[in-house]
Amino acid sequence: NAGVTQTPKFQVLKTGQSMTLQCAQDMNHEYMSWYRQDPGMGLRLIHYSVGAGITDQGEVPNGYNVSRSTTEDFPLRLLSAAPSQTSVYFCASSSSGGAGRTNIQYFGAGTRLSVL
Amino acid sequence: AQSVSQHNHHVILSEAASLELGCNYSYGGTVNLFWYVQYPGQHLQLLLKYFSGDPLVKGIKGFEAEFIKSKFSFNLRKPSVQWSDTAEYFCAVKNSGGYQKVTFGTGTKLQVIP
């Protein structure tokens, strides 16, 4: 059971470069989210999606884009990387909670990103 | 807006000591409450959750938490910690129903000394 899969695990970028962090889930979850984790700040929501074709901003969306063309995939794009985006990024998915399913979030293993 | 406060940023205990990590949230409606654990170098894993019913919730690895609605608290407890409990613990809250943003506390790092 793969759960939530994130790639890559580690990435180093130069300021101004772009890249895409991949996230895929095989649990048929409707909801998917991207968080960044910084020391002393917990997890902060970047973007989220409640279903294919539907995305919305979280609390720290600037500098990031997302799309949700399929239920399984929710990539996060950094358009022009900045040192302030050095962080650990986690993708999470959860069901909508209908039909007896609980809406617990399941997290991927994370992507550690450094922007020089 | 909802918020979560974890009072202790860093806790150091000896093995077999009892643990209580504080968590308070601010939101007036119906909430779902969670504790997640993050072992060094790993992703977050659900420790326990409260949705409704018995306010004393038992989770994995001997952890439990008590929801006290009047105090807006959801403290995590374990009677006797082990070295393997060394990790960072996050309290989280979301409004119940539908997709509601999960708000995380800033985390408590627990270090258990053998």
Question: pLDDT digit string (tens) for A4-33?
Answer: 999 999 999 999 999 999 999 999 999 999
Tell me the β-bridge partners of B49.
B34
On whether any CB of chain B is under 8 Å from the CB of A90, the answer is yes
Question: pLDDT digit string (tens) for B26-54?
Answer: 877 788 899 999 998 888 899 999 988 89
DSSP B16: T
Around A106, how many Cα atoms within 13 Å sit in the side-chain half-sphere?
A: 20
Chain B residues with CB-CB distance to A42 below 8 A: 4, 90, 104-107
Q: Nearest CA of chain B to the CA of A116: how many Å?
A: 22
> Could you tell me what percent of chain A has a pLDDT over 90?
78
Section A68-75 average pLDDT? 96
Tell me the β-bridge partners of B61.
none
- The answer to whether B98 contacts A105, with C-beta atoms less than 8 Å apart, is no
